[in-house]
Structures are given as C-alpha cells and as structure tokens.
Amino acid sequence: MIHARQLRKSFGSNHVLHGIDLDVQPGEFVVMLGLSGAGKSTLLRCMNGLAQPDSGTLQVGGIDLMARHSRRQLARQAAMVFQHHNLVPRLSVLKNVLTGRLGALSTLPSMLQLFRQSDIALAHECLERVGLAHKAHERTDSLSGGQMQRVGIARALAQQPQVILADEPVASLDPKTARSVLQYLRDATRGLGIAVVCNLHQVDYAREFGDRIVGLAQGRMVYDGSTHGLDEAALQAIYHAQPQAVTPAAPHPWQHAIPAGGLL
Ligand SMILES: Nc1ncnc2c1ncn2[C@@H]1O[C@H](COP(=O)(O)OP(=O)(O)O)[C@@H](O)[C@H]1O
Ligand SMILES: [Mg+2]
C-alpha cells in the first residue's frame, strides 16, 4: 500500500527527512509520533504528492511518487484529513462530502459540479460510516468541531482512496470528542481495508488506536513497532532527541568545594 525506501527531503540546507524506510499494509492504522519539527507533516506531504522527495523511492497505492506526472493519479489513491478540516462552512454537509468525488469526475462535470446519482449515494454512505447520515442537509457551520472533523473523514472516504493520511486530525478537539473521532476514523478505514497514517501528539491515543507506531526524531525513524513495545526507552528516543551530542560542561571549580551533604 505504502512503500518508502531511503526517502530524503531537504528544504535548502535544512535536512528534514534522512532516509525513511516504511511499509504500510492495507487496513493498517499507523500512528506517527514525534516532537514538533521532527518531519511528520513533511513525510505525509511526500506521501500525498504535496512535497517532492529529493531521493529514495516512494510508492503509494501502486503509484510511483518519484515520477512527477503521477500526481493526478495519486489524488484518487491518497486522501488527506487535516487538523482544520478545510470544509466550506456555508455548504451543506453532503456537498462538502461530495467534493471528495471531484477528482473522479472528468473536467467539465467537475467544473459544473455535476455529480452522478452514484456519487450522491456514496456520499450518503460515507456520512453513515461516521454517524452523520442525519446531518446531510444541514449547513456545515451548524456542526460542532468533532462533527466537522467527521465530515472531513467522510469526504476523505468519498474519494475511495487506498490510503488516508491524517495530519493531527484531533489536535483542536477535547479528549472525549478526539477519541470518538479517532474511533470513527479507525473503524471506517478498517472496514474498507484503507491504510491510515495518522500524526498524533498524544501517546495515549496512539496506544489506544494504533495498530502500529512509528516514531520520528529529527527526520529519522527511531521506533517502528507495536503499541505494547512503546516503552520508556522508545519514548525517550522519540521525545528526548538532542540536535547533537552535548558535551557536559566542566564543573565550576567551587562545586568541588561543596561537601556531599551540602553546605549546612
Ligand atoms: N514548505 C517548507 N519550507 C521550508 N521548510 C519547511 C517546509 N515544511 C517544513 N519545513 C521544515 O521542515 C522541518 C520539519 O517540519 P514538519 O514536517 O512540519 O514537522 P512536524 O510535522 O513533525 O512538526 C521543520 O524544520 C520545518 O521548518
Ligand atoms: Mg506537523
């Protein structure tokens, strides 16, 4: 489903990804953890064709992403879910989900937004998968934050992708809502055999929802394994990575003069 080998990406002199190897299977829910700036979003953007890797190989849903012409094909294979869902607030929920079908239409119907009956039926089905069938005809801006994120998931499902890439999809939600959104994302994708790579901040959610966890630190994969294997050492490697080895400063001369028990 996703196959990356020695993937590298720099922005000028900033080396962001240092040779990533990753394979994700159909139906697998992979949670990616890492400090801010570790390169998580960049890796997702490479997988979605939004960023071009410098070297290595990358295949998503059978499409070779190192070839530039493959971008449009990819739009059908990989759907993105964002932190700020990117929905059109004044449109109905159903219309927002239908925009997930635009990539599947040819140019003219796409420009005129002439959706087929089958597209509309699919959009309803996707809303059902995220528990929002009853909201189809409401304005999107009348929904709560959690419901809007579920519409974002339904729109991604409507693309009928092989892969969903979710970049911190629950970062702006309260814990209870966040859990329910992740539950919908996991259940819907698992039922359809869609592979998910989901960037998260919270280790708790990663343990609860991930089939597997990938830890990134400074553009290197420092953990790739089960949720059970995510122990203290793994968390240390993911969250306490230093930019470079720091030589401890020599003790100040007077520190030696203080007796072990302190001054008193
Ligand atoms: N479009 C860009 N142009 C220049 N630098 C970027 C761009 N996108 C990301 N970076 C840099 O890449 C590094 C990793 O960023 P990012 O992938 O967003 O990390 P994360 O998602 O783990 O917080 C950061 O140093 C960031 O400044
Ligand atoms: Mg990010």
The terminus-to-terminus CA distance of the chain in angstroms comes to 66
Distance CA 114, CA 98 (A): 10
**Nearest ligand 1 atom to alpha carbon 51:** 1
Residue with the smallest CA separation from ligand 1 atom 25 is 37
71 and 120 belong to one structural domain: no
Q: Cβ contacts of residue 232 below 8 Å, gap of 6+?
A: none
Closest CA to 132 of 157, 151, 158: 151
Residue 263 lies in a domain: no
pLDDT at 108: 62
Distance CA 59, CA 65 (A): 6
pLDDT at 77: 86
Overall size of the chain counted in residues: 264
Q: What is the pLDDT along the chain (264 residues), one digit of tens a residue?
A: 899 999 999 999 999 999 999 999 999 999 999 999 999 999 999 998 889 999 999 999 888 888 876 666 776 789 999 988 789 999 999 999 998 887 776 666 666 667 889 999 999 999 999 999 999 999 999 999 999 999 999 999 999 999 999 999 999 899 999 999 999 999 999 989 999 999 999 999 999 999 999 999 999 999 999 999 999 999 999 998 655 444 444 444 333 333 444 333
CATH classification at residue 65: 3.40.50.300
CB count within 10 Å of CB 13 equals: 5
64 and 192 belong to one structural domain: yes
Mutate-to-test residue for ligand 1 from 7, 16, 168, highest number of ligand atoms within 8 A of CB: 16
49 and 73 belong to one structural domain: yes
111 and 2 belong to one structural domain: no
Structure tokens at 181: 């959104």
Structure tokens at 168: 């911190």
121 and 24 belong to one structural domain: no
**Single residue among 134, 160, 186 that ends a domain in this structure:** 160
**Single residue among 131, 160, 189 that ends a domain in this structure:** 160
Taking the centre of ligand 1 as the mean of its atom positions, its distance from the CA of residue 37, in whole angstroms, is: 6
Distance CA 94, CA 113 (A): 13
Q: What is the per-residue pLDDT across 138-183, written as a single tens digit (0 to 9) for each?
A: 999 999 999 999 999 999 999 999 999 999 999 989 999 999 999 9
pLDDT at 244: 45
- Which protein residues are within 6 Å of ligand 1, measured from CB? 11, 14, 16, 34, 36-42
- Please tell me the number of the ligand nearest to residue 12's CA: 1
pLDDT at 62: 86
Number of domains in the chain: 2
Residue 260 lies in a domain: no
Q: Please give the radius of gyration of the chain, using alpha carbons only, rounded to the nearest integer.
A: 22
- Please tell me the number of the ligand nearest to residue 50's CA: 1
Residue 214 lies in a domain: yes
Taking the centre of ligand 1 as the mean of its atom positions, its distance from the CA of residue 50, in whole angstroms, is: 13
State the number of CA atoms in the 13 A half-sphere of 193 facing the CB: 5
pLDDT at 248: 46
Taking the centre of ligand 2 as the mean of its atom positions, its distance from the CA of residue 256, in whole angstroms, is: 45
Q: What is the per-residue pLDDT across 9-21, written as a single tens digit (0 to 9) for each?
A: 999 999 999 999 9
Residue 210 lies in a domain: yes
pLDDT at 112: 62
pLDDT at 151: 96
pLDDT at 70: 66
Taking the centre of ligand 2 as the mean of its atom positions, its distance from the CA of residue 38, in whole angstroms, is: 8
Residue 258 lies in a domain: no
CA distances from 237 to 8, 96, 108, 143, 215 (A): 20, 40, 51, 40, 8
Question: DSSP state, 86?
Answer: -
Residue with the smallest CA separation from ligand 1 atom 4 is 11
Q: For residue 185, give its domain range.
A: 1-77+163-251
**Nearest ligand 1 atom to alpha carbon 45:** 17
Distance CA 209, CA 198 (A): 10
Residue 172 lies in a domain: yes
Closest CA to 79 of 170, 187, 156: 156
- Please tell me the number of the ligand nearest to residue 13's CA: 1
**Single residue among 129, 160, 191 that ends a domain in this structure:** 160
